[in-house]
Amino acid sequence: MAKRVLVIGGSYFSGRVFVEEALKMPDVELHVFNRGRLPLHMDGVTEHVGDRERPEQVRDAIPAGQWDAVIDFCAYTPDHVKALLANLRGSVGQYLLISTTTVYRKTTQQPVDERAPLLDGPQPELGEYADYGYHKCLAEEAARGECARRGIALTVLRPAIIYGYYNYAPRETYFFDRLRAREPIVIPEPGASHFNFIWVVDMARLLWACIGEPRAFDETFNLASAEAVSYARIVDALGEITGKAVDTLPLPAAEIARRKLPLPFPIDEDLVYDGTKIDRLFGFEHTPFHVGLREALKYYLMVKRREAAAANAR
């Protein structure tokens, strides 16, 4: 019997890649619910248009029935979780909540695993993102309570920095933009900061592995490659990929801060997470960073060529 899967979100970045990967699987009935701003138009996907902020649209747009799994890519507050589960008509076997490693408190004990302390309040030092991690903590808490009350199996997934196809965040594209413009890439000194990633396709495959898997029920998992990366490593990887030397501009962290340069990753602290819990469960091997970065660069250049062609056609 086909797995009946509902994706909340699913038109941008990691959600879109999950949909593409899920379509490769046998026996899946795939539904997507979002605001319809970027329709998928994919064979095998039933799209439902509505705004999760309006409960009546959840009730009216999503058909009733038995959902083997609901994967929620865009629950940012506890109310998002509560309203969704309260207004889905029918039954839900498993709820998979996409959270984030941003829920963890800062610590020098790394890599950070799932047992590490969570935030207990907003982070004012992050400015407009001050509430993001804490609200994700509260969303996780709400999911545990709602799923326990409703008899739904819960799987919480906390990805580290996601990179790859469809990424709209200025992360790896910072390096690609500099490379394409033949501008030097800033390297923080002394260069001690390390961080790790999850290749967006690996994330999608791990999500799929969790669906209907009892060993993933009522569990929380970090999603992170064990490969720690630095700014210098990214530059080295780009050199390997392009076969050319990459121009760099080494700068002390204090100078980067003084110039207010918008670098995408930490410049003076480590952010390394432990994803071995789920990797061991499924015997999963991550895509090497240089391989994922090569694919991300190929996709980026394809998009730029399309944009240039569209501009020339006007």
Could you report the per-residue pLDDT of 17-59, keeping only the tens digit for each?
A: 999 999 999 999 999 999 999 999 999 999 999 999 999 999 9
Q: Which amino acid is residue 99, in one-letter code?
A: S
Q: Which residues of the chain have pLDDT under 50?
A: none
pLDDT (0 to 100) of residue 192: 75
The C-alpha angle 107, 109, 111, rounded to 5 degrees, equals 105
Compute the distance between CA of residue 80 and CA of residue 53 in angstroms, rounded to an integer. 7
Compute the distance between CA of residue 226 and CA of residue 217 in angstroms, rounded to an integer. 24
Residues near 179 by beta carbon (within 8 Å), at least 6 away in sequence: 185, 238, 242, 246
Residues near 213 by beta carbon (within 8 Å), at least 6 away in sequence: none
Half-sphere exposure of 61 (CA within 13 A, CB side): 22
Instruction: Find, among 227, 156, 172, the residue nearest to 197 by Cα.
Output: 227
Compute the distance between CA of residue 172 and CA of residue 114 in angstroms, rounded to an integer. 26
Compute the distance between CA of residue 165 and CA of residue 3 in angstroms, rounded to an integer. 26
Q: Which domains, from first to last, does the chain contain?
A: 3-169+195-228+270-289 (3.40.50.720)
pLDDT (0 to 100) of residue 15: 97
Compute the distance between CA of residue 109 and CA of residue 274 in angstroms, rounded to an integer. 11
Q: What is the pTM of this model?
A: 0.96
Half-sphere exposure of 172 (CA within 13 A, CB side): 29
DSSP label at 130?
A: T
